[in-house]
Structure 1
Amino acid sequence: MRRNPPLFASAPAATPGGVRTTAIIAIATIAMLISTESIFAQGMALPPSSVSRSQPPSTQPQGGQGGFMPRAADTPPSLQAVPNQNTGVGGPGGQLSSGGQLPRGAGQEHRVYDLRSYTGYLTSHDRPHQAVVDWIVRETGTDVWHTEPFGFMSADRDELTVYHTNEMHQVIAGIVDRFVAGDKDPQVMNLKVMTVGNPNWRSRAHALMQHVNVQSPGIQAWLLTKENAALVMNLLRQRTDVRQVQAVDLIMYNGQTEKLASTRGRNYVINVKPSPAGWPPYEPETGEIQEGYQLELSPLLSVDGRTLDCVINANIDQVDKFVPVELDLPLPNQQVHRTKIEVPQLVSWRLHERFRWPSDMVLLLSCGVVASPDRTQSAVPFLDFGAITGTTAGRADALMFVEFRGKASQNLTQVPVAPQISSRVSAPNRGRY
Structure 2
Amino acid sequence: MRLFSVFSIISLAVAICPPVSMAQNGGMPLPGGANAAANPNGMPPRNLPSSDTPPSLRGAGPGGNSGNLSNSGKLPQTHGQVQRVWDLTPYTGYLTKHDHPEQAVIDWILRETGTDLWFTAPFGYMNADRDKLTVYHTDEVHQMVAGIVDRFVAGDKDPQVLGLRVMTVGNPNWRSNAHLLMQHVNVDSPGMQAWLLSKENAAIVMSQLRARTDTRQVQALDLITHNGQTEKLASTRGRNYVLNVKPAPTGWPPYEPETGEIQEGYRLEISPLLSTDGRAIDCVIKAEIDQVDKLKPVELNLPLPNAQIHRARIDVPQVVSWRLHERFRWPSDMVLLLSCGVVASPERPQATVPLLNLEMITGTTAGRADALMFIEFRGRASENLTTTPLVPQMATGIGAPNRGRY
Tell me the TM-score normalized by structure 1: 0.81
SS at match of 1:263: strand
- The answer to whether the aligner puts 1:248 opposite 2:221 as a matched pair is yes
Please point out which of 8, 15, 19 is paired with 1:37. Answer: 19
Aligned counterpart in structure 2 of residue 365 of structure 1, from 333, 338, 341: 338
Q: For 2:129, which of 156, 159, 172 is the aligned residue? A: 156
Query: Which ranges in structure 2 are unaligned for 5 or more consecutive residues?
Result: 1-13, 23-27, 46-52
Q: Which residue of 1 aligns with 2:8?
A: none
Say yes or no: does 1:417 pair with 2:390. Answer: yes
1:161-188 deviations in whole A, cap 9, x for unaligned?
1111111000001100000010000000
Q: Does 1:113 align with 2:86?
A: yes
- Give the Å deviation of 1:387: 2.5
Q: Does 1:53 align with 2:38?
A: yes
Distance 2:130 2:153 in 1: 13
- Shift of residue 236, structure 1, vs aligned partner: 0.8
> Percentage identity across aligned positions?
69
Q: Where does residue 63 of structure 1 map in the other structure? A: none
Which residue pairs with 2:11 in the alignment?
none
2:87 maps to a residue whose letter is: D
Give distance in 1, aligned partners of 2:305 and 2:33: 67
Distance of 1:224 and 1:350 partners within structure 2: 24
1:396 corresponds to? 369
- Write out per-residue CA displacement over residues 98-138 of structure 1, whole angstroms, 9 at most, x where no aligned residue: 72421111111111111111111111011110000000000
Report the secondary structure of 1:42's partner residue: coil
Distance 1:415 1:87, change over 3 A: closer
Cα 1:229–1:189 change in 2 (3 A) is same
Residue pairs, 1:33-432, within 5 angstroms: 36-39=18-21, 42-45=29-32, 47=34, 53=38, 69=41, 71=43, 86=59, 93-97=66-70, 99-419=72-392, 428-432=401-405
RMSD: 2.8
TM-aligned CA deviation for residue 429 of structure 1: 3.7
Separation in 1, partners of 2:20, 2:265: 80
| 8 Å contact kept, 1:290–1:424 | no
Amino acid aligned to 2:29: Q
Contact 1:153/1:160 (CA < 8 Å) preserved in 2? yes
Helix, strand or coil: the match of 1:106? coil
Label 1:230 to 1:329 Cα distance change in 2 as closer, same or farther (>3 A): same
Asked if the contact 1:131/1:256 (under 8 Å) is kept, the reply is: yes
CA contact (8 A) 2:344 2:368 kept: yes
Task: Give the paired residue count.
Answer: 377
Paired AA for residue 110 in structure 2: V
User: Contact 2:265–2:346 at 8 Å: present in 1 too?
Assistant: yes
CA contact (8 A) 1:322 1:342 kept: yes
Alpha-carbon shift at residue 348 of structure 1 (Å): 1.1
8 A contact 1:188–1:408 mirrored in 2 = yes
Alpha-carbon shift at residue 93 of structure 1 (Å): 2.1
AA aligned to 1:297 is I
Shift of 1:87: 8.7
Aligned 8 A contact 2:30 2:42 in 1:
no
Moved >3 Å (runs of 4+): 32-36, 43-48, 70-73, 84-88, 422-429
Report if aligned partners of 2:58, 2:65 keep a CA contact under 8 Å in 1: no
Q: Match for residue 5 of structure 2?
A: none
- 2:265–2:290 Cα contact (<8 Å) kept: yes
- Give ranges in structure 1 of 5+ residues lacking alignment: 1-31, 55-67, 74-80
**Tell me, what secondary structure is at the counterpart of 2:149?**
helix
Q: Contact between 1:386 and 1:393, CA under 8 Å: does it hold in 2?
A: no
Seen in structure 2, the aligned counterparts of structure 1 residues 70 and 384 have a Cα distance that, compared at 3 Å, is farther
- TM-score (structure 2 length as normaliser): 0.87
Rg larger in structure: 1
2:218 is paired with a residue whose SS is strand
- SS at structure 2 position matched to 1:201: helix
**How far apart in 2 are the matches of 1:130 and 1:47?**
55
- Distance across 2 between alignment mates of 1:423 and 1:346: 23
Superposition deviation, residue 44 in structure 1: 3.7
